[in-house]
Amino acid sequence: MSLLEIKNLHARVEEQEILKGVDLIINPGEIHAIMGPNGSGKSTLAQVLAGKEDYEVTEGEILYKGEDLLEMAPEERAREGIFMAFQYPVEIPGVSNVYFLKAALNAIRTHRGLEEMDAMDFLVYVREKMKVVKMDEALLNRPVNEGFSGGEKKRNEIFHMSVLDPVLAVLDETDSGLDIDALKIVADGVNSLRSEDRAFLVITHYQRLLNYIVPDVVHVLIDGRIVRSGGKELAFELEDKGYAWLEEPLGAGEPVGA
Amino acid sequence: MAPSDTELLEQHVDQKYEAGFVTEVETETFAPGLDEDVIRRISELKGEPDWMLDWRLKAFQHWQTLTEPTWANIEYEPVDYQAISYYSAPKSKQDGPQSLDEVDPEILRTYEKLGIPLQEQKMLAGIAVDAVFDSVSVATTFREKLADAGVIFCPISEAIREHPELVKKHLGTVVPYSDNFFAALNSAVFSDGSFVYVPKGVRCPMELSTYFRINAPNTGQFERTLIIAEEGSYVSYLEGCTAPMRDENQLHAAVVELYAGEEAQIKYSTVQNWYPGDPETGVGGIFNFVTKRGLAAGRRSKISWTQVETGSSITWKYPSCILKGDESVGEFYSVALSKGRQQADTGTKMIHVGKNTTSTIISKGISAGHGQNTYRGAVKILSGADNSRNFSQCDSMLIGDQCGAHTFPYIDVQSPSAQMEHEASTSKIGEDQVFYCNQRGIDTEDAVSMIVNGFCKEVFNELPMEFAVEARKLLEISLEGSVG
């Protein structure tokens, strides 16, 4: 069974249709990249997967582990293993990063029938994970994202991901605004989490992230539809030619599943 | 699709007020109504000396010339002061209980249910409690241990009899009976409350606390607290308040006076959880009209108010500091939550009189449901108060779209060397913040409580440990019952 199966997904925000029939299949262990010009619907797809209420699904369905994902509340999706690294992570003043993560992890553990982790065990566990993303320990005790630089925020998202151990991780333009060093750290974090059971959906505007996170499949999203899918070489082609050559009226376009 | 965050927030409007039960005890309760005779009877029941009765009667005469203030940003049906009973006390053998064995077991159970066991062996070590039930103090714990340190902690009615010189010297000097309508009423009819005296150079060996419980129907509670900290002493005092759920409004008009001598420090913390009334209709709940003021009389004295106001249908309360001594310090840390149909108009006054005086105001207002939350604060720096400083920060948080937050800061600076800083913010609890928490697996209720607790953190940090935990829990219960 595939991990995620999106069929003919249509979604809109305030009357405006953004996704116009997306089909996508992701299997465990795969890394899929979604590329596309601004406004093509990349982030909308991520938000719909995470369950953001502003996005209304008007047609189609999403099966996650064979279940109807759209019936699940955002926190249920998270507890079932869907993680989204936000493009713009919010700040939560007065709530320390470590306290927040412990609450999150224990909500997930409880859902999975595991015992809650106590403060001591959690700290040991978290320190281990921090090494992966080369996080400064000071950021643990600072309020969630408050006063973090752009790079720190993105790194913090990858740190959250490694702590929460997701089944499907959606990275929404995690590379935007990162310099090359930060980009490498983020990519290293993702690569270290690659496993047979875990899948990634990497949303990006630029090809350069895919130099470091090598995808199994690349999809091109234009005007709310996946107009082309291919191997990692498709990303290089896009880097050379841009998107314009794909922006032709559909009909010829072949929506290809992975 | 999953229900929206706003819908989820709205769904939590089912109010749970956990302290809303009634204790069945036989009481001696005055018939409703207020005249000189009622005041004489209260005074007589308490075995008061003549000077006390005279003062009460003067206050009553003055009160009759006053009208209820209307400047606060609150709306309520006028109070019929003749429809209230001004005294209610559980019946007891003789003069009142001499020891816990003589306290009605029902009352002990009441406090136990509220999480405040009065048996010393069961209590949190390090906290002495005065338990005020309607109009009387039913028990005061650890008195002997405190007496060893020279600290007096007893019901004020007892202090009037046993320590008249101390009471006479200080009562009404910080809050005169002429101060305002409710202070005048309280001065006339106050029935009990706590008295604390910390002698020169003594650091009070334990936290002192008073737990106020309104139980009887149709009764007002008018407590009076007086804390005197002599030169170089230190005391930390906490108060907590609850009441049963009733369909009528009940009046609570208290007066608290603090006096700090040279280099003395008083830390006064309140966790107020009076019954807030029905969250849908607004019926019932406590009218909390309270006057609290501290006089930082001596050089380098310090008075610090911390309050967590989660209850009452109406809160009208401005714990204030008069910074008379040079280099004296005043602080006000406040969290006020208005949910359901609650209205809070609260804040502080910092009056700088002495030189080099400093004050800090941190106010966090949270409005949910149809709640209305007003911060009203005054900072006054008089002409002689050279080099005085104030820092004020007033933050408001809105949860849902039916509530309101208002800020009225008054600033009056008469000294050219004064420094003032004022920061204010209003934010709507971010659906983005809630969604971010959801996406990490945290449900909306926990997310809101986490975000609100984070918002209040600076204030909670000021509370003594046990109370900080209590306050956090209370805010959780309150929000569980009220986030709208």
ipTM of this model? Answer: 0.93
**Chain B contact for A142, CB < 8 A?**
no
Which residues in chain A are contacts of B453 at CB distance < 8 A?
94-95
Which chain B residue lies closest to A76 (C-alpha atoms)? B441
8 Å CB contact of A53 and B2 = yes
pLDDT band per the 50, 70, 90 thresholds, residue B16: low
What is the mean predicted confidence (pLDDT) over A173-196? 88
How does residue B310 score in pLDDT terms, banded at 50, 70 and 90?
A: confident
Is the Cβ pair A78, B432 closer than 8 Å? no
pLDDT (mean) for B171-176: 94
Q: Is the per-residue pLDDT at B174 higher than 60?
A: yes
Higher pLDDT, A92 or B126: A92
Q: Residue B246 has what pLDDT?
A: 64
Q: Is the pLDDT of residue B401 over 60?
A: yes
Per-residue confidence (pLDDT) for residue B166, from 0 to 100 = 95
pLDDT tens by residue, A125-170? 999 898 878 888 888 889 999 989 888 899 999 999 999 999 999 9
- Provide CB contacts within 8 A for B163, sequence distance 6+: B152, B195, B197
Give the residue among A38, A59, A44, A37 at the shortest CA–CA distance from A13.
A44
> What is the pLDDT, as a whole number, of residue B115?
67
The model's confidence at residue B94, banded by pLDDT at 50, 70 and 90, is: very low
Smallest Cβ–Cβ distance between B441 and the set A71, A78, A89 belongs to A78
Looking at the predicted structure, is the pLDDT value of residue B2 above 80?
no
**Which tokens belong to B296?**
């930082």
Q: Show the domains of chain A with their CATH numbers.
A: 4-250 (3.40.50.300)
Average pLDDT for residues A83-99, to the nearest whole number? Answer: 93
Least confident interval from B10-19, B80-89, B394-403: B10-19
% chain B with pLDDT above 70: 83
User: Hey, are the CB atoms on A164 and B441 less than 8 Å from each other?
Assistant: yes
Question: Between A73, A143, A164, which is nearest B2 by CB?
Answer: A73
Nearest CA in chain A to B433: A90
- Cβ contacts of residue A245 below 8 Å, gap of 6+? none
Question: Got the DSSP string for A70-112?
Answer: GGS-HHHHHHTTEEEE-SSPPPEEEEEHHHHHHHHHHHHHHHT
Cβ-defined contact of A75 to B456 (cutoff 8 Å): no
| Predicted local distance difference test score (pLDDT) of residue A133 | 80
Residues A189-234: tens digit of each pLDDT = 899 999 999 999 999 988 888 989 999 999 999 999 999 999 988 8
Tell me the C-alpha distance between B36 and B57, whole Å: 7
Residue B15: per-residue pLDDT: 45
Select from A9, A95, A164 the residue whose CB has the most chain B CBs within 10 Å, as the one to mutate to test that interface.
Answer: A95
Please indicate whether, in this complex, the C-beta atoms of B2 and A107 are within 8 angstroms of each other. no
Question: pLDDT band at B136, cuts 50/70/90?
Answer: low
Helix ranges (H only) for B46-173 are: 50-64, 105-113, 143-148, 156-162, 164-170
Neighbouring-strand partners of residue B393: B362, B423
Each residue's pLDDT tens digit, B22-56: 777 777 788 888 899 999 999 998 899 999 999 99
Using the predicted structure, report yes or no on whether residue B351 has a pLDDT greater than 70: yes
Contact A84 B430 (CB under 8 A): no
